[in-house]
Structure 1
Amino acid sequence: MTSSANTKAPSFMPTYTKVWHTKVHPTISPTRPENSAKNKVVVITGGGIGTGAAIAKAFAEAGAKAVGLIGRRENHLKTSAETLSSISTSIKIEYAVADITDKSALESAFEKFEGSLGKIDVLVSNAGYLSDIVPLQKADDEDWWRGFEINVKGTFNVIKSFLFHAGSNAVFLGVNAGLATSSEPPGLSSYISSKIACARMLECMQAEHPEIRVISVHPGVVDTAMTEKTKVPPMDDASLVAGLMVWLAGPEANFMKGRFMWANFDIDELKERAAEIEKGNELRLGLLGLTPPEMFFKK
């Protein structure tokens, strides 16, 4: 596998590591033995298309025991499931049509998965929504709040269903947005606000459930319906976040509990700084310039 690293991040991108990636690289390869997903039951929301389908494919390549897909459109879920079946004949695959804002349908999907696949070891919360890109003053009320309905309430529903059906030492990985941690371009107030609310909710989840590994991830700028809406040209391959999710679900990533990271960061550099990250306030959301009381971050 060839390296995808640049010597540094693009000048307009914030970074945490010296090395920057745009596609899957050896350390996060789904076929790397250390990243094996053997015996794991994985559930992915928004798993029918885009990054969700790519993540499902990566877990199948990593040898997952079973994969459950949740999405709103059955045709996409069926296509994604067929792709997984072509990778491995031994993997169990189920899909359920459900909108994450529909608590009843979502819970039925999780009950179905536990009944047929078993307790959930890894949950990838990938479904999201980008409201129309317009200034606050011109925003359509319903569309603006729909960002919160899906990104916040929908994630809340996913978390609650997951906690009832999670296995021991489970992992919850939330696909977030780099904009929640960086600049504030005009017209994206709903998306930025809802995504940072979602990230903080996951931090609360981590504090309340130390037995679960919870991590927020910016997937990079990938070719999806959202990037089409923003008119921003894709800069990263979906294989990058797909491989990263597999690595984050593995044993090497335990020091990343409760953190927010970008898929572009170099994992080998993160591993070298594991003690610093685990014991300090690195890669946490907060107010710049403040030193939070130690008690707030006790495990």
Structure 2
Amino acid sequence: MSEQEQKIALVTGASDGIGKETARQLAQQGLQVLIGSRSLEKGQKVVEAFAAAGLSVGLVQLDVTDRESIEKAAQQVGEQYGRLDVLVNNAGIALDRTPLSEMSIEDFTLTFQTNVIGTFSVTKLFLPLIRKSSQGRIVIVSSRLASLLNMSDENSRYYSVVLPSYAASKAALNALTIHFARELKDSGIKVNAVEPGLTATRYVTLEGAQPVEVGAESSVKYALIGDDGPTGGFFDREGVHVW
């Protein structure tokens, strides 16, 4: 496969958890994957581990809360590859430990700074490179807790899961998904939000959590959709998810 034929993909927050597994699965599909990592040391360990497994990936230092870091990352990708075919906005945090009224303003602000403004900033600053792709794809990792139906329906199994600032930030990402998709519809760039499901990671140890291999499936699926695929939707690995 020539360099022009091989798709270039960037996964943010790819040094751990679902992001790391998303990067692995995309690399296994033959994409040139770039590990977006705030820590170069952690990112390099992922690159080395993948290399030992026969997967060649690149590394980009990327802190989604730091505009200068994002700008430098976009410049690096532009100089090295000239375009970006797939952007998976995976980086995010959950700081909820109390009821919303007791949450610190600092933690609430940091949640939105990372999950919402970070995703918006990465998407905006990489968009010129995505526009140069013949099949641009943007995946925004949301959550079933972003669903207004799940949050408001007392019969929902997720009604009792109270992570209000995290849920609000992910609901905001769903709105960004819709508006980016509407704006970019005529360009052929497809923008979708995905719901990975309760997934066992370093931060999630709840009983019944699925392995990261399953949690990454929705991100990978919608990163690889064809020209006849959807845009502006909210999906889990089985299909359409409720807003």
SS in 2 for 1:132: coil
In the alignment, structure 1 residue 139 sits paired with structure 2 residue 103:
yes
Q: Which residue of 2 aligns with 1:220?
A: 197
Structure-2 separation of matches of 1:145 and 1:177: 19
Structure-1 separation of matches of 2:124 and 2:180: 10
User: TM (normalized to structure 2)?
Assistant: 0.85
Structure-2 separation of matches of 1:173 and 1:186: 25
Q: Which residue of 2 aligns with 1:123?
A: 87
Q: Which residue of 2 aligns with 1:249?
A: 223
Letter of the 2:169 counterpart: S
Q: CA deviation at 1:132?
A: 2.6
1:192-207 alignment to 2 at 5 Å? 192-207=167-182
Q: Among residues 17, 28, 32, which one is paired with 1:61 in the alignment?
A: 28
Asked whether the 8 Å contact 1:94–1:113 carries over to 2, the reply is no
Q: Among residues 215, 233, 236, which one is paired with 1:262 in the alignment?
A: 236
Asked whether the 8 Å contact 1:44–1:125 carries over to 2, the reply is yes
Structure-2 separation of matches of 1:40 and 1:73: 25
Q: CA deviation at 1:161?
A: 1.5
Q: Which residue of 2 aligns with 1:168?
A: 134
1:21-59, CA deviations, whole angstroms, 9 ceiling, x for partnerless residues?
Answer: xxxxxxxxxxxxxxxxx6110101001111111011111
Q: Which residue of 2 aligns with 1:73?
A: 39
1:222-276, CA deviations, whole angstroms, 9 ceiling, x for partnerless residues?
Answer: 1224425xxx33521211233433332334584331110123x2xxxx5xxxxxx
CA RMSD of aligned residues (A): 2.1
Please list every run of 5 or more consecutive structure 2 residues that lacks an aligned counterpart in the other structure. Answer: 152-158
Structure-1 separation of matches of 2:27 and 2:241: 29
Q: Which residue of 2 aligns with 1:104?
A: 68
Change (3 A) 1:258 1:283: farther
Letter of the 2:86 counterpart: V
Structure-2 separation of matches of 1:196 and 1:78: 32
User: TM (normalized to structure 1)?
Assistant: 0.70
Change (3 A) 1:88 1:152: same
SS in 2 for 1:120: coil
Structure-2 separation of matches of 1:250 and 1:161: 21
State the identity %: 27
Letter of the 2:97 counterpart: I
1:150-180, CA deviations, whole angstroms, 9 ceiling, x for partnerless residues?
Answer: 1111011111112021123200011111111
SS in 2 for 1:208: helix
Larger relative contact order (C-alpha < 8 A, sep ≥ 6)?
A: 1
SS in 1 for 2:216: helix
Asked whether the 8 Å contact 1:60–1:87 carries over to 2, the reply is no
Asked whether the 8 Å contact 1:51–1:241 carries over to 2, the reply is yes
Please list every run of 5 or more consecutive structure 1 residues that lacks an aligned counterpart in the other structure. Answer: 1-37, 271-281, 286-299
Asked whether the 8 Å contact 2:12–2:62 carries over to 1, the reply is no
